[in-house]
Amino acid sequence: MKALILSGGKGTRLRPLTHTMAKQLVPVAGKPILGYVLEHIAAAGIKSIGVIISPETGEEVKGYIGTGRKWGVKITYIPQTAPLGLAHAVKTAGDYLGRESFVMYLGDNLLSYGVADAVKRFRKEQTDALIFLKEVDNPKQFGVAELSADGGIKRLIEKPSKPPSNLALVGVYIFTEKIHEAIARTRPSDRGELEITDAIQELIRMGRPVKSEILDGWWLDTGKKDDLLQANSIVLDEYIKRSIKGKVDKKSQIAGRVDIAEGTVIKNSRIRGPVRIGKKSIIENSFIGPFSSIGDRVRIYNSVIEHSVILNDSVLEGIERLEDSLIGRGTRVLHSNHRHKALRLMVGDDSTIEI
């Protein structure tokens, strides 16, 4: 079995941040989203992974993943010149996938657990497709599944005006080679894309077995700022352990599960977990509140930060309160003569903000 990770696209929902970085490389609890995806696939025993990349961000994705040695896998990069749909990505990877079954995992999705058990079930039940579903409050915004009594898929509908259920398609699928035949029989949707929902529906019309796996844990699509902040909070809450490798002076207070990497200095500050702070950062005369992730080489002075993600090489100074914010790499957020009790920002890379 192989795997196919979709790490292309233009990340329009996370702009301006994704003008200069791949959305799959935005960190959650200090690790790029793509890192969690690779860990899940490797844990399922899959050694060969194809990665769909785009012209805009492909080199950055390659720079992070490299050969795949870190995860014990072999990587094949597959360029997709334009984001023409998930089924188009599978079609683009046809030569790489060959006649093997494969896991398809969207690189900006996070699951509460991996795919190892689902892979075992897929092999045991000999189905042609196993799709992940999750109950959601807003099914109109997703591809939605209607199930038969035995848990099979009756039909799939992309963003229906009248959803037949609240079961949304999660960005993880397992297919046999039969999906290629179904895609070949599928035509582009009204928006000009080859939809994977249409291809799976074609599998059903062909009489092929299609089954579902309903997630009982969390699933997060990190394509938007609030989604990414929610993912950051959940991952911090579940995985962060107390680990103080940096230097903390006697005037500072560290409460709860706080991970401070080596080379970081905390001066006259309070840190209340769960919080993750990267390498070689400086936190001085500040408060870092729960569910915050601070990157490497960040400088924070005389500021209050809570429920935010601050990427590498940024500087924040004199900020009375920053919350629910995503701050890009190399960004400067500085205090001016105006005072605000709370700020909510989404700032792209290499920006300077005076408040």
Q: Both 149 and 112 in a single domain?
A: yes
Q: Both 208 and 248 in a single domain?
A: no
Q: Both 195 and 217 in a single domain?
A: yes
- Domain limit, last residue, from 235, 259, 274: 235
- Domain limit, last residue, from 235, 262, 289: 235
Q: Both 179 and 289 in a single domain?
A: no
67 has pLDDT over 70 = yes
- Please report, for the domain that includes residue 327, its CATH number: 2.160.10.10
* Residues 138-194: tens digit of each pLDDT: 888 888 888 887 767 888 887 888 888 889 888 899 999 999 999 999 998 887 788
The pTM score is: 0.84
Q: Both 306 and 336 in a single domain?
A: yes
Distance CA 60, CA 20 (A): 10
Q: Count of domains in the chain? A: 2
43 has pLDDT over 90 = yes
* Phi and psi at residue 29, to the nearest 5°: 55, 40
Q: Both 29 and 104 in a single domain?
A: yes
Contact predicate 311/18, CB 8 Å: no
Q: Both 213 and 283 in a single domain?
A: no
Give me the chain's average pLDDT, please.
87
Q: Both 117 and 219 in a single domain?
A: yes
- Domain limit, last residue, from 188, 219, 235: 235
Distance CA 353, CA 355 (A): 6
Structure tokens at 157: 């509908």
Q: Both 152 and 19 in a single domain?
A: yes
Q: Both 271 and 157 in a single domain?
A: no
If phi > 0 it is left, if psi is from -120 to 50 it is alpha, else beta; for residue 311 that is beta
* Residues 105-121: tens digit of each pLDDT: 998 888 877 889 999 99
Q: Both 148 and 108 in a single domain?
A: yes
Structure tokens at 27: 């960190």
Q: Both 246 and 139 in a single domain?
A: no
pLDDT category at 339 given cuts 50, 70, 90 is: low
DSSP string, 32-54: EHHHHHHHHHHHTT--EEEEEE-
Structural domain span for residue 280? 242-354
The pLDDT assigned to 11 comes to 47
- Please report, for the domain that includes residue 33, its CATH number: 3.90.550.10
The mean pLDDT of 323-334, rounded to a whole number, is: 87
